Amino acid sequence: MILLDINLFYNTAITQEVLGWSGSDFFKVVCLFGLPFLGSIIEHAPEEISQLKSKLKVLTKELKASKAALTKEVEQRRQTEEELKLINKGLETVVRQRWDDLSKANSKLAQLNEMLESTQNLAGMGTWEIDLLTQDLYWSDKVYEIHGIAPGTKLDTSKGISFFRKDFQPVIQQAVHNAIEKGERYNLELVLVNQKGEEIWVNAIGLPVVENGKTIKLRGLFQDIDDRKKLEFDEKNLKRRLEYYIEHMPAAVAMFDKNMHYLVASKRWYTDYNLEGQDIIGRHHYDIFPEIRQMPHWIDDHQRALAGEVIQNNDDPFVREDGTRQWLKYEIYPWYDETGEIGGIGMFTEDITPEREMMEAIKLNEEKFRSVVEYSAIGMTLVSTEGRFLDVNLALGRILGYSREELMKCTFQEITHPEDLDTDLQNVQDMMDLKIKSYQMEKRYRHKKGKMVWAQLNVSAAYKEDGNVAFFISQIQDITERKKIEKDRRNLEKTLERKVAERTTQLEVANKELQAFSYSVSHDLRTPLRSLSGFSKALIEDYYGDLDATAQNYLNRIAQAANRMGHLIDDLLSLSNVSKREVKRQELNLSKICREVIDLMHPESKFNIYIEPGLEVVGDKRLVKVVMENLLGNAIKYAGKIAKPKIAVKKCTEEGEEWIMVQDNGVGFDMEYAGKLFVAFQRLHAASEFPGTGIGLATVQRIINKHNGKIKVYSAPDQGATFYFNLNNS
C-alpha cells in the first residue's frame, strides 16, 4: 500500500482526475469508510496510480516553486502592510487636521451666518428660496416677520404673490415669469399687504438657479424698506412743496447749483425775464442770459455768493441782448446741503423798472409841474392855515395886479370882497375840521387898482402825518369875462323869452287861421268842386257821344282835374288833422296792421309781399296806420310796372338802432333829390306816369316827428327804394 498524504489528495486535483471526486468529496469518503477503503480503491487502479505519481512529482515541484513565490509575496505584503500602517497614521493625522480645520470653518461659518442674520435683521432683510421641481418654499424668520406670519408656518407657494397690493401683482408676476423662463434677475420695490392688512414697501430681489439651461430654483432677498420709502416720499413731498413755494412766490426767485445750472424758478422769474414757454431747468444761467458774460460785476457777485457771501443791490441796470434795459433789485444767498457744504445759490430779484421809470417820470413831471404852475394862465398859490400866502405863481399876480413880493406880504382875507369872505372862511374852517376835503366857489377879489375881479376858486389841502391840514393849495381862475358874458346871456335870454312868447302868440294865430282855412277847404271848396265834378260826369254820361274829339278831351281833363282836386283836398285835411291830433300811444302789432292795409289795397297777384311776423311798435294806432298806408301804397305804386315786384316789411338794426324797413324793387330814384321827398307838393316823377298829390310822404314825416322818431330812405334808379323808420316814444 502506498502511503499518501491525505492533505495532498485533498488539496490537489488527483481525486478529481482519478476518481472524478472533488477534494471535499474525497475527504467525506475517508471520514466515512476510512483509509482501508481508500487503499482498496487505489489497488484496483495501478495505471492510474502510476500516472498519478508522475503528475504528483510535477505538482510537488510546482508546489515548491509556488511556496517560494508565496513566501516572497507574503513578505512583500507584510512590507506593504507596514507601509500602509505608516500611510494610515499620516492619513489619520491629516484627517484629524482637516477635521479640526473643518470644525473651525464650521464655527466661523456659523458666526458668519449669525452675523449675516443679524445684519439682515438690522437691514430688515430676509432670505427665501423655492424649488420649482418640488415646490418647496423656504422663508427666513425675517421674511415671515415682514409678512406678519409666525415663523415656521406652512406656506402655500401659490398664494405668495397675493400678499402684494393688487396694482403691483402684475409687476411681480411678470418678473417671476421672466426669471423662470428667461433666467432674468429682478430687483423690485413693491407694496406688500401683510397678514394684518398693513401696507409695507418692500424690496424683492430674485436670482434664478439654472442647470442645463433650465431654471430649477429661485432664491433671493426680501427687505422691509417702508421707513426708507416714507422718508423718500417725505423728501419728495418736501422738495415738491419747496418747488411749489418757490414757483408761486410773488417775487422772481431762482435756485442754482454750484455750476450755475437752474434747479427751480418761480413763475414770476419767467414773467419778469420774458422766459414764458422755455424749459430752463438744468440749463446754465449764462446760456439763458448770454449778456451776463459781458457783465463781469454780476459774474463776480455770483462767485462771491458761491464762496458764502450774501450779495445785495437795490438798483442795478440789466441791459438785455435786444437793447432793452431792466432795473433790478436783488439779493443773492448761498444755500447749504445736508453736509453743511455750499450747494449753490439762490437769487431773489425784483424788476423795479416800472418804479424806476415812475420815479424818473415823477421827477420830470415835478419839473414840468413847476414850470406849468409857474407859467400857467391860472393863478396858483400855497396858503397857510392862517391865510398867509406861502407861494404864488406869476399868473396870480397878473390876475390881481400885484407883484409876487406884494402878495407874499398879505393874506387872502385882505384881498377878498367883504360879501364873499364869510363863505370862504366857513369853507376853510370845514376843511380844518376835516369835514370836507376840498371846496369850490366863485368869489370876488380886490384888484390892486381897486376894481373887482371875479374868480373860480378851487381849494384842496396837504396833510401832516397826524392827519391835520398842513397848508392849502388854491387854484384861482379869472372868470370876470365869463361873468360879463353870463350877464349878457341872461339879458339875451330874457329878450329871447319875450320874442318866443310873441312868436308863440303869432303861431297860435296862424294855426287858428290854418284851421279856419282847412275848414274852408273842407266845406267851402268842396261844394263848387262837387258841382263841377257832378256836371262834368252828367255831360259825359248824357252828351259825350255828341261832342267832337276836342270837346271830349276837354271834358275828360275837367273830370280828371276835379277828381285830383278832391284827392288833394283830402290829403290837405289829413295833413292838417295829423298836426292837430294828440298822439295816443299803445303797443301795436305792426305785422297785423300791414296785412290789413295790403288787404284793402288789393295788389295784383304778381306781387311777392313779405311781412315779418311779430313786428311790434308803440304808437298811435290811427297815425301808424296812415304811415303804413302811404309807405305800402308808394311801394305798390312804384313797383307795379316791374315784371316780378317784391315788397318786404321787416325789422333790422343799423348803427346800434332798431328800424322798421319797407323795401321794394321798383323804379327807385336818385338820392340827389332825396331832400325833396318829404316836402309837401314835391314830386320826383310825373303825375301822368305815377299819379299822386305829393303830400303823402310829408304826412308820414310829420307823424314820425310827432312820435319823436326818425325816418330815412336809400334808393337808386331802377333798384327800388327802402324806407327806414322808428318811433322813439321818449
The per-residue pLDDT for range 33-61, each reduced to its tens digit, is 455 555 555 555 556 667 766 777 777 77
Alpha-carbon distance 187 to 203, whole Å? 7
Out of 197, 231, 265, pick the residue that ends a domain: 231
Same domain, 156 and 288: no
Q: How confident is the model at residue 10 (pLDDT cuts 50, 70, 90)?
A: very low
Alpha-carbon distance 271 to 265, whole Å? 11
Residue with the bigger pLDDT between 280 and 238: it is 280
Q: What is the separation of C-alpha 577 from the centre of its chain, rounded to a whole number of angstroms?
A: 67
3 state SS of 603:
coil
Mean pLDDT on 335-363: 86
What pLDDT is recorded for position 301? Answer: 94
- For the chain, the C-alpha Rg in angstroms (whole number) is 67
Alpha-carbon distance 625 to 584, whole Å? 13
What pLDDT is recorded for position 447? Answer: 93
DSSP bridge pairs for 392: 381
Cα dihedral 716→717→722→725 (10° resolution):
70
Alpha-carbon distance 246 to 256, whole Å? 13
Mean pLDDT on 405-413: 91
Q: How confident is the model at residue 189 (pLDDT cuts 50, 70, 90)?
A: very high
Cα dihedral 355→356→362→368 (10° resolution):
-150
Q: Is the pLDDT of residue 228 over 90?
A: no
Q: Is the pLDDT of residue 286 over 90?
A: yes
Phi/psi class of residue 574: alpha, beta or left (left: φ > 0; alpha: ψ in -120 to 50)? alpha
Out of 357, 385, 412, pick the residue that ends a domain: 357
Same domain, 261 and 131: no
Alpha-carbon distance 226 to 124, whole Å? 10
3 state SS of 352:
coil
Q: What is the mean pLDDT of the chain?
A: 81
What pLDDT is recorded for position 621? Answer: 87
- pTM check: above 0.75: no
Q: Are 126 and 146 in contact (CB under 8 A)?
A: yes
Half-sphere exposure of residue 192, counting CA atoms within 13 Å on the CB side?
A: 26
| Number of other residues whose CB lies within 10 A of the CB of residue 639 | 25
Element (H, E) at 305: helix 296-306
Q: Are 134 and 154 in contact (CB under 8 A)?
A: no
Same domain, 598 and 636: yes
Same domain, 258 and 220: no
Q: What is the pLDDT of residues 431-488, one digit of tens each?
A: 999 999 999 999 999 999 989 999 999 999 999 888 999 999 999 999 999 989 988 8
Q: Is the pLDDT of residue 681 over 80?
A: no
Mean pLDDT on 682-689: 51
Q: Is residue 512 part of a domain?
A: no
Same domain, 177 and 255: no
Q: Are 116 and 208 in contact (CB under 8 A)?
A: no
Same domain, 594 and 713: yes
**Count of domains forming the chain:** 3
Domain that holds residue 169: 124-231
Q: Is residue 75 part of a domain?
A: no
Same domain, 287 and 186: no
Q: Is the pLDDT of residue 206 over 70?
A: yes
Same domain, 696 and 610: yes
